[in-house]
Structure 1
Amino acid sequence: MAAESINYAQYAGIHSVAAAVIFLIAYVPLAILYIIYSIRRPTYVLIVLALFCIIRITAFSIRAAMAASTSAGESEGLLVAEEILYNAGFFGVLYSAYTLVLDRDQLTGRLGETQGLLTLLARITSNRHVIRLTLSVAVALGITGATKMVSSNSSDVSTGESLRRASVYIFLVVTAVLVLRTLILAMHQGASRPDNNMELGASQRPKGNTTFGARHGIYVLAIITLLLLIREAFYAATTGSTNASQQAKGNNEAYFYPLGALTEFLAVILFAVPGLVPSRKELEMQRYAAEK
């Protein structure tokens, strides 16, 4: 008698073809936009956002295929691929937000000037290598956890859940640190604003730059940070929980799409606000000014 096939799509809560296709289509113009931006103004943030959009298009394509086709839904490999792409992709948008906050803090000329109890913490959290390494560990744990969770061995499944839980909480901690860095940026900009019409000082931004992002970037960054925090709080409360019913909500599309998928999608849209992402020239000018 043939072994009964496992429908991994149903196991992972993947049911809606329409929702996956909508997000797939929605990311296409964003991918094109960020590819154009990254060619015209090649900065780390814009290049990574272009890659992130491509990864999300691929992930939602797999998700749509698994929801639409029984044979695709029974493919263990597709489920693992979707989990890996979705987990690894978040690295891009979170680190882009973190990099942007540090870049804009650099433009204030006060990146290393935090005083008091926050001094040591500010120095550690402004180290890009530390943050990148931390996020890389989170991605590695998430990928390993995803591969183990489809195992027929209960011990491997348990290990996979623990690894995925650890990955979620590392992402949450880094997102919380992003909140801190955004607050520090707000303090630095408030202390260095010589011109009420400009968010950044005249030495950091060309005169006459009246783009919304240049003048009100801190508010846009605050919204991006809040959206990413909501996303990670959702995963911490569901995927990161040891309660089975709470874990199930993480796979429930009624929660996943508005709290997981939509939040990061809106965040990615906000990165496109004109003037928000500083150019390499602006950053290099500030570094030169700081060295004088």
Structure 2
Amino acid sequence: MSASGLQVNYAHAIGFNSVAAAVIFATLYVPLFHWFILQSFKHPTYVHIVLSLFCAIRITAFVIRSLLASASSAGENLGLLIGDEILFGVGFFGLLYSAYTLVLDRELLNDSPPPRNPIIALTRNRRIFRLALVLAVALGSAGTSMSQSSSSSTAHTGKTLHVISTVMFLVLTILQALQTLHLARSELSGTSQYRKDNESFGMRYGVYILLLVAALLLVREAFSMATVNDLLKQTNEHFWYPLLAVPEIIAVALYATPGLVPPRSDLPK
């Protein structure tokens, strides 16, 4: 409560104003959620299951965001605002790891040669990449929560953790993009027998789709990194929606391309 006795609307103070935009994005994610849930039962794969969870998280986060942006008292609830920010950070794990998984799975199907770059070769270790992602999520969640503390030292530590998390996500996104470029060079320089035998659109043109997904994720993380020390610019809806929300939902829609996600039965044991 402020000195005048009036409640502070934290959401409006940092730029949460558009209820319509939040409702539209929540609505757009609903059919995508149903699609990936259906695929999770028909063709259960890690990618389908994780993207179902991602869509559910985004629907929840945008519903909360619509409440925060409304004229109701929800915007005065700092805990709700922090929870919404954490949900948006946690969800990116599934989006990035799905792209990473698809690239490695296509390399297995196409019998692509191992990369010569030792850094890229190291990041092909799924456990290491997944562990790094989990650490980035944990640091980001802790940082978001601590940065709102009334204690200046705790808030400073929270901001530091948030910066570290953002840097880690950016580095992992760049590494995933490099993995995708390696796959593209491998596929486009030769003819994959698996692709020749597979008539699905997603398998034949999947490398182009994955390159586009990698570019969208880079745009998202570049924006997060560029505004990491400027909360008002990062939450400004004129920037946040086109540079973070839009790239995410386009990427998710691209994941729904028929045949892009290979069945588990086709992958080498």
TM-score tier by shorter-chain length is over 0.9
Offset at 1:191?
4.5
Q: Which of these residues, 11, 35, 38, is aligned with residue 37 of structure 2? A: 35
Q: Is the 8 A contact 2:180 2:211 kept in 1?
A: yes
With a CA cutoff of 8 Å and minimum separation of 6, indicate the structure with the bigger relative contact order: 2
* Structure 2 counterparts to residues 139-158 of structure 1, below 5 A: 139-158=137-156
Offset at 1:275?
1.1
How many angstroms apart in 2 are the aligned matches of 1:20 and 1:110? 42
Q: 1:211 aligned to 2:213?
A: no
**What is the match of residue 277 of structure 1?**
261
**What is the match of residue 73 of structure 2?**
71
Offset at 1:205?
5.1
- 1:246-290 alpha-carbon deviations (Å, 9 max, x no partner): x4211100000000100011000000111111110111xx34xxx
**What is the match of residue 213 of structure 2?**
224
How many angstroms apart in 2 are the aligned matches of 1:77 and 1:253? 21
Q: Is the 8 A contact 1:108 1:192 kept in 2?
A: no
Unaligned runs of 5+ in 2: none
How many angstroms apart in 2 are the aligned matches of 1:13 and 1:90? 21
**What is the match of residue 236 of structure 1?**
225
**What is the match of residue 263 of structure 1?**
247
Q: Is the 8 A contact 1:141 1:167 kept in 2?
A: yes
3-state SS in 1 of match to 2:205: helix
Offset at 1:192?
4.4
How many angstroms apart in 2 are the aligned matches of 1:114 and 1:143? 33
- 1:67-93 alpha-carbon deviations (Å, 9 max, x no partner): 114310011121111011110000010
* Structure 2 counterparts to residues 1-292 of structure 1, below 5 A: 3-110=5-112, 113-115=114-116, 118=117, 120-193=118-191, 200-201=192-193, 204=194, 207=197, 209-239=198-228, 241=229, 244=230, 247-283=231-267, 286-287=268-269
Q: Is the 8 A contact 1:250 1:256 kept in 2?
A: yes
Number of matched pairs: 267
How many angstroms apart in 2 are the aligned matches of 1:10 and 1:56? 20
Q: Is the 8 A contact 1:205 1:282 kept in 2?
A: no
Unaligned runs of 5+ in 1: 194-199, 288-292
How many angstroms apart in 2 are the aligned matches of 1:89 and 1:228? 13
Bigger shift: residues 1-10 or 272-281: 1-10
**What is the match of residue 196 of structure 1?**
none
CA shift in 2, pair 1:222/1:277, >3 Å:
same
How many angstroms apart in 2 are the aligned matches of 1:168 and 1:214? 32
3-state SS in 2 of match to 1:54: helix
Residue identity (%): 48
Offset at 1:109?
1.2
How many angstroms apart in 1 are the aligned matches of 2:22 and 2:45? 30
- 1:3-55 alpha-carbon deviations (Å, 9 max, x no partner): 44221212332111011001000000100011001110000011100100000
Amino acid at match of 2:203: A
Q: Is the 8 A contact 2:147 2:159 kept in 1?
A: yes
How many angstroms apart in 2 are the aligned matches of 1:84 and 1:130? 23
Amino acid at match of 2:174: A
Q: Is the 8 A contact 2:136 2:169 kept in 1?
A: yes
Offset at 1:187?
2.3
How many angstroms apart in 1 are the aligned matches of 2:232 and 2:68? 19
Bigger shift: residues 45-54 or 63-72: 63-72
Q: Is the 8 A contact 2:195 2:204 kept in 1?
A: no
Amino acid at match of 2:220: R
RMSD value over aligned CA atoms? Answer: 1.6
The normalised TM-score by structure 1 is 0.87
Amino acid at match of 2:202: G
How many angstroms apart in 1 are the aligned matches of 2:256 and 2:196? 19
